[in-house]
Amino acid sequence: MQHAVSAGEVTSLTMSDFDALEFRSALGRFATGVTIVTTVDAAGERYGVTANSYNSVSLDPPLVLWSLAKTSRSIAAFEDCEAFAVHILGAHQEELAKRFASSSADKFSGLDVHAGLHGVPLFEECAAHFECTLENRFEGGDHVIFLGRVEHFAHGDAAPLLFHDGKFARVEASEKKA
Protein backbone atom coordinates (compact mmCIF):
# COMPACT_ATOMS: atom_id res chain seq x y z
CA MET A 1 0.00 0.00 0.00
CA GLN A 2 1.51 3.30 -1.08
CA HIS A 3 0.76 6.35 0.94
CA ALA A 4 1.41 9.86 -0.35
CA VAL A 5 2.63 12.15 2.41
CA SER A 6 1.26 15.67 2.46
CA ALA A 7 3.17 18.61 3.85
CA GLY A 8 3.02 18.46 7.62
CA GLU A 9 1.63 14.90 7.66
CA VAL A 10 3.45 12.25 9.70
CA THR A 11 2.96 8.53 9.18
CA SER A 12 3.71 6.14 12.02
CA LEU A 13 4.08 2.39 11.58
CA THR A 14 4.02 -0.38 14.12
CA MET A 15 5.96 -3.60 13.54
CA SER A 16 2.70 -5.45 12.84
CA ASP A 17 1.97 -3.28 9.78
CA PHE A 18 5.61 -2.81 8.71
CA ASP A 19 6.16 -3.72 5.05
CA ALA A 20 9.86 -4.14 4.17
CA LEU A 21 9.28 -3.56 0.44
CA GLU A 22 7.38 -0.35 1.09
CA PHE A 23 10.10 0.74 3.52
CA ARG A 24 12.74 0.11 0.85
CA SER A 25 10.64 2.06 -1.65
CA ALA A 26 10.38 4.98 0.78
CA LEU A 27 14.15 4.91 1.37
CA GLY A 28 14.66 5.01 -2.40
CA ARG A 29 13.12 8.49 -2.51
CA PHE A 30 16.40 9.81 -1.11
CA ALA A 31 19.00 10.34 -3.85
CA THR A 32 22.44 9.12 -2.81
CA GLY A 33 25.87 9.15 -4.31
CA VAL A 34 27.37 5.89 -5.52
CA THR A 35 30.65 4.63 -4.10
CA ILE A 36 32.90 1.65 -4.43
CA VAL A 37 34.74 0.71 -1.26
CA THR A 38 37.94 -1.31 -1.65
CA THR A 39 40.34 -3.10 0.67
CA VAL A 40 43.07 -5.73 0.57
CA ASP A 41 43.60 -8.65 2.95
CA ALA A 42 46.85 -9.84 4.54
CA ALA A 43 47.46 -12.21 1.60
CA GLY A 44 47.15 -9.35 -0.90
CA GLU A 45 43.72 -10.33 -2.25
CA ARG A 46 41.69 -7.31 -3.34
CA TYR A 47 38.04 -6.76 -2.42
CA GLY A 48 35.54 -4.17 -3.54
CA VAL A 49 31.82 -3.48 -3.20
CA THR A 50 29.43 -0.89 -4.54
CA ALA A 51 27.79 1.01 -1.69
CA ASN A 52 25.48 3.98 -1.44
CA SER A 53 25.50 3.91 2.37
CA TYR A 54 28.35 6.41 2.66
CA ASN A 55 28.37 9.53 4.82
CA SER A 56 30.78 12.15 6.10
CA VAL A 57 30.95 12.24 9.89
CA SER A 58 33.51 14.74 11.15
CA LEU A 59 36.03 17.31 9.95
CA ASP A 60 38.17 17.15 13.10
CA PRO A 61 39.24 14.43 13.08
CA PRO A 62 38.34 13.68 9.44
CA LEU A 63 35.94 10.71 9.62
CA VAL A 64 33.63 8.98 7.15
CA LEU A 65 31.38 5.96 7.45
CA TRP A 66 29.76 3.37 5.24
CA SER A 67 27.91 0.11 5.84
CA LEU A 68 27.93 -3.39 4.37
CA ALA A 69 25.34 -6.18 4.63
CA LYS A 70 26.39 -8.98 6.95
CA THR A 71 25.50 -11.39 4.12
CA SER A 72 28.05 -9.86 1.71
CA ARG A 73 30.72 -12.23 0.39
CA SER A 74 33.28 -9.55 1.28
CA ILE A 75 32.20 -8.94 4.87
CA ALA A 76 35.07 -10.90 6.47
CA ALA A 77 37.70 -9.00 4.48
CA PHE A 78 36.30 -5.63 5.54
CA GLU A 79 35.84 -6.69 9.16
CA ASP A 80 39.52 -7.72 9.30
CA CYS A 81 40.98 -4.84 7.28
CA GLU A 82 43.36 -2.16 8.53
CA ALA A 83 42.40 0.27 5.80
CA PHE A 84 39.88 0.89 3.05
CA ALA A 85 39.24 3.43 0.31
CA VAL A 86 35.90 5.01 -0.56
CA HIS A 87 35.64 6.04 -4.22
CA ILE A 88 32.86 8.48 -5.07
CA LEU A 89 31.99 7.54 -8.62
CA GLY A 90 31.64 9.97 -11.46
CA ALA A 91 28.62 9.97 -13.76
CA HIS A 92 30.71 8.15 -16.39
CA GLN A 93 31.34 5.16 -14.07
CA GLU A 94 27.95 3.42 -14.04
CA GLU A 95 29.40 0.21 -15.54
CA LEU A 96 32.06 0.12 -12.82
CA ALA A 97 29.32 0.49 -10.17
CA LYS A 98 27.42 -2.43 -11.72
CA ARG A 99 30.56 -4.58 -11.87
CA PHE A 100 31.28 -4.12 -8.15
CA ALA A 101 27.61 -4.63 -7.24
CA SER A 102 27.80 -8.11 -8.79
CA SER A 103 29.00 -11.27 -7.08
CA SER A 104 31.64 -12.06 -9.72
CA ALA A 105 34.86 -13.60 -8.41
CA ASP A 106 37.44 -11.20 -9.83
CA LYS A 107 35.89 -7.76 -10.07
CA PHE A 108 39.31 -6.16 -10.63
CA SER A 109 40.17 -8.17 -13.77
CA GLY A 110 41.30 -5.86 -16.57
CA LEU A 111 40.97 -2.67 -14.52
CA ASP A 112 43.67 -0.05 -14.13
CA VAL A 113 44.17 0.33 -10.36
CA HIS A 114 47.12 1.31 -8.24
CA ALA A 115 47.95 0.64 -4.60
CA GLY A 116 47.17 3.31 -2.05
CA LEU A 117 47.41 3.36 1.74
CA HIS A 118 48.25 -0.14 3.08
CA GLY A 119 48.07 -1.48 -0.50
CA VAL A 120 44.35 -0.73 -0.86
CA PRO A 121 43.30 -0.60 -4.55
CA LEU A 122 42.55 2.87 -5.94
CA PHE A 123 40.65 3.69 -9.13
CA GLU A 124 41.42 6.55 -11.48
CA GLU A 125 38.96 9.17 -12.73
CA CYS A 126 36.56 9.08 -9.76
CA ALA A 127 34.82 12.23 -8.60
CA ALA A 128 36.76 11.78 -5.32
CA HIS A 129 38.38 9.12 -3.19
CA PHE A 130 39.17 8.85 0.51
CA GLU A 131 41.89 6.56 1.84
CA CYS A 132 41.04 5.58 5.40
CA THR A 133 42.34 3.60 8.31
CA LEU A 134 39.66 1.64 10.15
CA GLU A 135 38.73 3.60 13.26
CA ASN A 136 35.87 1.41 14.47
CA ARG A 137 32.99 -0.79 13.38
CA PHE A 138 29.51 -1.14 14.79
CA GLU A 139 26.62 -3.55 14.51
CA GLY A 140 23.70 -1.94 12.71
CA GLY A 141 20.86 -4.42 12.28
CA ASP A 142 21.61 -6.55 9.21
CA HIS A 143 24.66 -4.40 8.37
CA VAL A 144 28.06 -3.58 9.82
CA ILE A 145 28.91 0.13 9.94
CA PHE A 146 32.56 0.98 9.25
CA LEU A 147 34.01 4.23 10.58
CA GLY A 148 37.20 5.35 8.88
CA ARG A 149 39.75 8.06 9.63
CA VAL A 150 40.66 9.80 6.38
CA GLU A 151 44.44 9.75 5.91
CA HIS A 152 44.51 10.98 2.31
CA PHE A 153 41.96 12.18 -0.24
CA ALA A 154 41.77 13.54 -3.75
CA HIS A 155 38.99 14.95 -5.93
CA GLY A 156 38.39 16.17 -9.43
CA ASP A 157 35.68 17.97 -11.36
CA ALA A 158 33.66 14.92 -12.49
CA ALA A 159 29.90 15.13 -11.98
CA PRO A 160 28.81 12.45 -9.49
CA LEU A 161 26.88 9.29 -10.25
CA LEU A 162 23.65 9.15 -8.25
CA PHE A 163 21.21 6.44 -7.25
CA HIS A 164 17.53 7.28 -6.86
CA ASP A 165 14.37 5.18 -6.78
CA GLY A 166 16.23 2.00 -7.72
CA LYS A 167 18.01 3.52 -10.75
CA PHE A 168 21.23 5.30 -11.56
CA ALA A 169 20.86 9.03 -12.17
CA ARG A 170 23.10 11.95 -13.08
CA VAL A 171 23.41 15.64 -12.34
CA GLU A 172 25.48 18.23 -14.06
CA ALA A 173 28.56 19.39 -12.21
CA SER A 174 28.04 22.80 -10.69
CA GLU A 175 30.06 25.65 -12.09
CA LYS A 176 32.79 26.95 -9.84
CA LYS A 177 32.37 30.52 -8.65
CA ALA A 178 34.97 32.96 -9.91
3-state secondary structure the chain: CCCCCCCCCCCCCCHHHCCHHHHHHHHCCCCEECEEEEEECCCCCEEEEEECCEEEEEECCEEEEEEEECCCCCHHHHHHCCEEEEEECEHHHHHHHHHHHCCCCCCCCCCCEEECHHHCEEECCCCEEEEEEEEEEEEECCEEEEEEEEEEEEECCCCEEEEECCEEEECCCCCCCC
116 assigned to some structural domain:
yes
Domain count for the chain: 1
3 assigned to some structural domain:
no
pLDDT tens figures, 90-128: 999 999 999 999 887 789 999 999 999 999 999 988 999
pLDDT tens figures, 62-84: 999 999 999 999 999 999 999 99
Question: Domain span at residue 116?
Answer: 18-170
12 assigned to some structural domain:
no
CATH number, domain containing residue 140: 2.30.110.10
99 assigned to some structural domain:
yes
pTM, 2 dp: 0.83
